[in-house]
């Protein structure tokens, strides 16, 4: 009796130890995957699919010197000064200062240009005046802008886009341009690449989900990340970027935004660099995954703009091998701008890239489930081995107690049949008639 009590006590203690050990090992093993998820690690899956036909992408052509002599002839003569043109060039193209070959002009030179531009281009006529100064279709190839400050044509940037109808996406997603220089040709052997970022739950879990998410956001007008940040510029910089006037918005749908634009002054080149650029750069595709600086005025508002507005889940690009060459002699004798761009697909296969969390939520739950099954199965095996071993060492003792016999009581409702012996009478005996 005492041996059985000790056996049960030791078995209970071993069970508690085994249970705590399995729980601890399960938690420690699962923490590895939980920490990987919390550290925001990512993985990239790449596959190629064959397409029966591939279309030439849309070409977005940006002239690095957007003002022509034809356009300048339509505006005030004072705007034809080199200082005014230089200021206009940096004013309308803020990314110019980020170029590797950028050379900053003298401060007095830029101040002179700023005073001239703000004097002769008023807010009421600014949009129309800038459009009149830009290259028109008939003068796109002319090397005839009115400026002695830039003696040679700076070239043309060409961007490849699958769709050129969404102006808001072009304002924030243009990257990796092909630069065409004067009297030079470029040949691009490209391939089509689709990259879907499904680290955000709003983008779904596959490339098709990402495409449908972008279409839904565009249809329901949820792609206003740039506009939201321009509102922050007007609030914290007390001016609005020039692009707020140049982009075309529906006046009925964006009445509040256009009203704020009309009530604030346009940002100068220095004001844009000192304040507005930080907000606008957050909307560029290469900065979508970067942390918002903590010292940014209106940090919480900037974070809310990022969370409340849809950013593209699927981005199509056309990388490839670029080969440059000089144009033939007959093209190098003219004073006009001449260049050539040749596009061709190097393969009919499309590369699909899927960027996701590592692990994602489904893999995390699977790993935790596998760990639970592993360690509690090990615990069950050890528990079974323990009871088998204790059974061999300490077998159960047989009891000598007499078990009382249980007799079955007869039921009145089912009595046993009574056997009645029947004896024949004398008349039935043989030989009675004789």
Residue 187 — very low, low, confident or very high, per pLDDT cuts 50/70/90? very high
pLDDT(295) > 90: yes
Q: In what order do the strands lie in the sheet with 42-50?
A: 42-50, 349-357, 193-197, 314-317
Q: What is the mean pLDDT of residues 200-213?
A: 90
Please determine, for residue 6, whether its predicted confidence score (pLDDT) is greater than 80: no
The confidence band for 434, taking pLDDT boundaries of 50, 70 and 90, is: very low
pTM of model > 0.75: no
For residue 334, the model assigns a pLDDT of 82
Neighbours of 5 (CB within 10 A): 9
CA 87 to chain centre: 36
Write down the pLDDT at residue 423: 58
Residues 337-382 pLDDT 10s: 889 999 999 999 999 999 988 777 777 788 888 888 888 888 888 8
Rounded to the nearest 5°, which phi and psi values hold at 85? -70, -40
Residue 141 has pLDDT above 90, yes or no: no
When comparing pLDDT for 359 and 24, which is higher? 24
Q: What count of other Cβ atoms lies within 10 Å of the Cβ of residue 131? A: 12
Q: What's residue 71's pLDDT?
A: 73
Average pLDDT, the chain: 83
pLDDT band at 425 (very low <50, low <70, confident <90, very high): low
Q: What is the DSSP secondary-structure string of 256-289?
A: HHHHHHHHSEEP-HHHIIIIIHHHHHTTSGGGTT
Q: How many residues does the chain have?
A: 434
Q: What is the mean pLDDT of residues 306-325?
A: 94
């Amino acid at each position: 009796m005492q041996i059985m009590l000790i056996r049960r006590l030791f078995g209970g203690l071993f069970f508690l130890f085994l249970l705590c050990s399995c729980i601890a090992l399960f938690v420690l093993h699962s923490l590895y995957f939980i920490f990987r998820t919390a550290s925001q690690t990512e993985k990239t899956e790449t596959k190629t699919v064959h397409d029966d036909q591939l279309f030439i992408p849309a070409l977005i052509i940006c002239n690095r010197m957007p003002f022509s002599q034809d356009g300048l002839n339509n505006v005030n003569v004072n705007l034809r000064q080199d200082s005014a043109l230089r200021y206009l060039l940096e004013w309308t193209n803020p990314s110019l200062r980020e170029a590797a070959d950028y050379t900053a002009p003298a401060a007095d030179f830029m101040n002179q240009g700023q005073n001239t531009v703000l004097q002769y281009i008023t807010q009421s006529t600014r949009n129309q005046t800038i459009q009149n100064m830009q290259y028109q279709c008939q003068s796109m190839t002319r090397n005839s802008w009115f400026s002695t400050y830039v003696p040679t044509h700076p070239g043309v940037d060409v961007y490849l886009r699958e769709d050129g109808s969404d102006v808001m996406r072009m304002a924030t997603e243009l990257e990796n341009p092909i630069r065409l220089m004067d009297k030079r040709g470029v040949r691009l052997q490209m391939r089509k690449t689709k990259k879907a970022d499904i680290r955000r739950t709003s983008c779904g879990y596959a490339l098709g989900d990402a495409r449908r998410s972008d279409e839904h956001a565009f249809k329901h007008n949820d792609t206003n990340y740039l506009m939201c940040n321009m509102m922050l510029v007007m609030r914290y910089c007390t001016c609005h970027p020039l692009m707020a006037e140049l982009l075309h918005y529906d006046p009925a749908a964006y009445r509040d935004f256009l009203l704020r634009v009309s009530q604030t002054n346009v940002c100068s080149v220095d004001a844009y660099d000192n304040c507005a650029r930080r907000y606008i750069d957050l909307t560029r595709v290469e900065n979508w995954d970067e942390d918002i600086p903590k010292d940014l005025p209106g940090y919480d508002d900037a974070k809310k703009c990022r969370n409340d507005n849809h950013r593209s889940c699927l981005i199509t690009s056309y990388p490839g091998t670029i080969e440059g060459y000089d144009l033939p002699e007959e093209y190098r004798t003219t004073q006009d701008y001449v260049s050539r761009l040749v596009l061709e697909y190097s393969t009919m296969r499309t590369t699909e890239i899927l960027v996701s969390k590592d692990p994602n939520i489904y893999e995390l739950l699977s790993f935790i489930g596998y760990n639970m099954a592993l360690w509690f199965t090990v615990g069950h095996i050890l528990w079974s081995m323990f009871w088998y071993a204790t059974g061999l060492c300490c077998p159960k003792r047989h009891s000598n107690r007499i078990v009382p016999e249980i007799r079955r009581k007869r039921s009145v409702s089912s009595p046993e049949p009574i056997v009645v012996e029947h004896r024949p009478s004398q008349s039935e005996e043989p030989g009675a008639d004789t």
